[in-house]
A = this chain, B = another copy of it.
Amino acid sequence: MIIEKFPEDIVREGDYVLLVGASEKLRLIVRVEKGKVVSTIRGNVRLDDIIGKELGSKVRTSLGEELTITRPSIEEFMLEKYDRPTQVIYLKDAAYIILKAEIGPGCTVVEAGSGSGFMTTFLALHVQPNGKVISYDVRREFQEVAMRNVKMLGLDKFVEFKIRDVIKEGFDLPDKSVDAVILDMAKPWEVLSEAYRVLKHGRYLVLYLPSILQVDKVLREYRKHGFADPEVVEVLVRKWKPVSEELRPDTWMIAHTGFLVFLRKP
């Protein structure tokens, strides 16, 4: 999976790198720009010293702290660098959606709305190099955030952002042209017919719904629009404390983000 703005081996100008101190407490993601200096709690780092270095090599701060230069993870990048004016779809849900709805290289995927671009990012990563994401939102100010976010990673070339009220105007797409539709909006039942129209046969509509009454509403509507094989799931990830002597689940966990409803065009 190519992320244009992450180095594969040698750090280039413009790349994002992750710098990690010996204690693992000191971690920061920086964009490598010529002539720039970044300050850390353990001294300054001249970014010129990083350009051309191999991943895994070290750089020293002005106070002598040795930092390892490495590749950020996409998840930590998004959580640290993306603006989040809306609720976002997290990796655990994005993962289940992408595999269950069979979204992969070459797919054409519709999402509404764009939100903060988290789901858009995951989709773009997985439909590249020859697929595309068509991301609708009715609220220009949010979509601009999503665009800015997605652009940071160089993924904007796989996304068409469109300002459009899909409830009123539908999708501006031909029949049976789309491999998956993902709806993260308040009243997705208003778009069921349009989703059906643009989907290929055997393919999935996915709804991301925070409240169970929204799920109920969808379950009462989906048949009218031709969908079949409903599945309602919650994806829960339980993290453990990764220390041998104290091995146990974390005290707190995220117990709810959204319900996922999968519907299929027969």
Residues of A within 8 A of B (CB): 1-2, 6, 8-9, 18, 20, 24, 54-56, 68, 70-75, 91-92, 94-96, 98-100, 102-107, 122, 125-126, 128-131, 176, 179, 200-203, 210-213, 215-216, 219-220, 228-257, 259, 261, 264-266
Contacts and interface: CB of A to CB of B under 8 A. Distances in A.
Contact of A248 (B18, B91, B211): B211
B256 A1 contact: no
A98 B96 contact: no
A126 B129 contact: no
A79 B70 CA distance: 39
Given A24-B228, A105-B128, A242-B232, A212 B254 contact: no
A213 B254 contact: no
A106 B126 contact: no
A236 B239 contact: no
Main secondary structure of the interface of A (DSSP, over half): mixed
A56 B92 CA distance: 32
B1 A247 contact: no
Given A71-B203, A230-B242, A239-B232, A106 B248 contact: no
A152 to B, nearest CB: 16
